[in-house]
Amino acid sequence: MGAIAQIIAPLTLTLIIPAAALMVTDKIPYMKGLFGVIGAVLIGLMALTIMARNVDISASLQSAAAGPGSAGSRTSLWGQPKILLDS
């Protein structure tokens, strides 16, 4: 994912910042706006995390852990020795 981000990030910046902005001083207003949007998204995510702080998912985790032997559950390919070791 990091390699993809390193390829996509400069491309995205060339689309956001116009090509006519050659000097750094011309690019600063666009960069401030970009950082403002990123900050607003992070603050919104923080608020959502604070509001949903007491979410209890232990019941769903226990039901998922209790059912590996059931007929409807799927096991990993790596967990099936017959497939891996049979040639």
Question: What pLDDT does 36 receive?
Answer: 94
Task: For residue range 29-87, list pLDDT tens digits in order.
Answer: 988 998 999 999 999 998 888 887 776 767 666 766 665 555 445 666 666 666 656 65
Are 14 and 30 in contact by the 8 Å Cβ rule? The answer is no
Helix (H) or strand (E) holding 26: helix 24-51
Going from the C-alpha of 82 to that of each of 30, 36, 72, 74, the distances in angstroms are 58, 55, 19, 15
Distance between CA 82 and CA 75 in Å, rounded? 13
